[in-house]
Amino acid sequence: MNRPDRNRPSHRPCNGEEQPPPPGNARRRPSGRVTLDEVAQRARVSTMTVSRALRDPSLVSPSVLERVQAAVAELGYIPNRAARTLASARSKLIGVLVPSLSNAVFVETIAAVQDCVGPAGYQLLIGNTGYSPARQAELLSAYLSHAPDGFLVAGIDNSNAVRRQLAAANVPLVHMFDLVPGKEGSVGFSQRRAGFAIGAHLVERGARRPAFLAAQLDPRTMQRRAGFRRALRAAGLDASLEALTEDPSDAAVGSRLLRELLEKAPDCDAVFCCNDDLALGVLFECRRRAIAVPEELAVVGFNDLPFAAVSSPSITTVATPRYAIGFEAARMLLQIINDEAPAKRRIDLGFELVVRESA
């Protein structure tokens, strides 16, 4: 029978800390993945300490955390999220669905969500619905298979199928940008009131033939249109003048829509563009046609994107609290996930009409 060689040097120093085994001596799973035990051996701590350090770094000392992080980096360890989910009943994942990833409005909102949930150890599953209800339902199904702890959604389709999906999964949801009735959480502002404020502003500055220009035609855009029309009707003006397209929005579309509008209504004296991209295109077209802004045509945009303040002329627009919407919606979702009752489940952050040179 083979007996242990008592003269073989031990890998345990006199200070009691376990040393890493010689290269190639660590056992691997059949899959070849680096295990938590290997990280613990390399960092000279217990597997429980490694787990604690990865789950919540504040629970271990800085020196231990440094050793664990070094071991993770050296070995290329990837945490087994599925095992962690089974053990904690939490996936530490949050699904975020937005209509566009090229729109600066939603990029800023996603950044705010990450700023809020990142320190709590959450990762984001980010999906681009492309303003399509079918794509939205598809992404919801795909992300639900990852057992997210909650969803943050901008512009969710209100179909019964989507509602049943979320209810069956018992996953909390908070709406961003839309203020919805009922028990679901929502953080945003009134699109209708914003549209009304723009219509009232144009009427006050003397517009008599104002029009609405819009692309994409998502529900929020149409709510702005409804508020704008209400303001015009309240002033006794024609509220039907408009140029609409379902095409994605950009400056070129804004130029095209103004051309279409002026062909049927050459006496139009003001336009409310559903976003700043369209408004910029309108300014370009006015420059080409030698139309003086705002003397002959007042122009208003929406969202207050950075270029609005520096265009020539600068664009009158509505500043939307997109960073605050993302952060507050994420904060509310974390409270719901942690079984804490939010002070409010419907938070109206308002908007600001920013009057500049164009109107």
Residue 23 has pLDDT above 80, yes or no: no
Q: How high is the pLDDT of residue 9?
A: 39
Residue 99 has pLDDT above 50, yes or no: yes
Least confident of 2-16, 104-118, 151-165, 266-280: 2-16
Phi/psi-derived region of residue 142, left when phi > 0, alpha when psi is between -120 and 50, beta in every other case: alpha
Residue 194 banded pLDDT, cuts 50, 70, 90: very high
- Fold agreement (91-189+323-351, 191-319): yes
pTM, to two decimals: 0.75
Residue 188 banded pLDDT, cuts 50, 70, 90: very high
Residue 27 has pLDDT above 60, yes or no: no
**How far is it, in rounded angstroms, from Cα 321 to Cα 347?**
12
Residue 353 has pLDDT above 60, yes or no: yes
Q: Which amino acid is at 171?
A: V
Residue 11 banded pLDDT, cuts 50, 70, 90: very low
What topology is assigned to 20-77 in CATH?
434 Repressor (Amino-terminal Domain) (1.10.260)
CATH number of 191-319: 3.40.50.2300
Residue 263 banded pLDDT, cuts 50, 70, 90: very high
What's the rounded mean pLDDT across residues 225-231? Answer: 98
What are the structural domain ranges in the chain?
20-77, 91-189+323-351, 191-319
What 3 state SS string does the chain have? Answer: CCCCCCCCCCCCCCCCCCCCCCCCCCCCCCCCCCCHHHHHHHHCCCHHHHHHHHHCHHHCCHHHHHHHHHHHHHHCCCCCHHHHHHHHCCCCEEEEEECCCCCHHHHHHHHHHHHHHHHHCCEEEEEECCCCHHHHHHHHHHHHCCCCCEEEEECCCCCHHHHHHHHHHCCCEEEEECCCCCCCEEEECCHHHHHHHHHHHHHHCCCCCEEEEECCCCHHHHHHHHHHHHHHHHCCCCCCCEEECCCCCCHHHHHHHHHHHHHHCCCCCEEEECCHHHHHHHHHHHHHHCCCCCCCCEEECCECCHHHHCCCCCCEEEECCHHHHHHHHHHHHHHHHCCCCCCCCEEECCCEEECCCCC
CATH architecture of 91-189+323-351: 3-Layer(aba) Sandwich (3.40)
Q: How high is the pLDDT of residue 158?
A: 56
Residue 6 has pLDDT above 50, yes or no: no
Cβ-Cβ contacts under 8 Å for 262 (sequence gap 6 or more): 268, 289
Residue 46 has pLDDT above 80, yes or no: yes
Angle at alpha carbon of residue 318, lines to 130 and 298, rounded to 5°: 105
Residue 84 has pLDDT above 80, yes or no: no
Least confident of 26-30, 59-63, 80-84, 239-243: 26-30
Q: How high is the pLDDT of residue 206?
A: 97
Pairing mode, if any, of strands 185-188 and 346-348? parallel
What's the rounded mean pLDDT across residues 161-188? Answer: 82
Q: How high is the pLDDT of residue 132?
A: 84
Please answer whether residues 196 and 256 qualify as being in contact, where contact means their C-beta atoms are separated by less than 8 angstroms: no
Q: Which amino acid is at 305?
A: L
What's the rounded mean pLDDT across residues 116-121? Answer: 93
Residue 80 banded pLDDT, cuts 50, 70, 90: low
Q: How high is the pLDDT of residue 138?
A: 86
Residue 255 CB neighbours (<10 A): 21
Residue 314 banded pLDDT, cuts 50, 70, 90: very high
Least confident of 139-148, 224-233, 272-281: 139-148
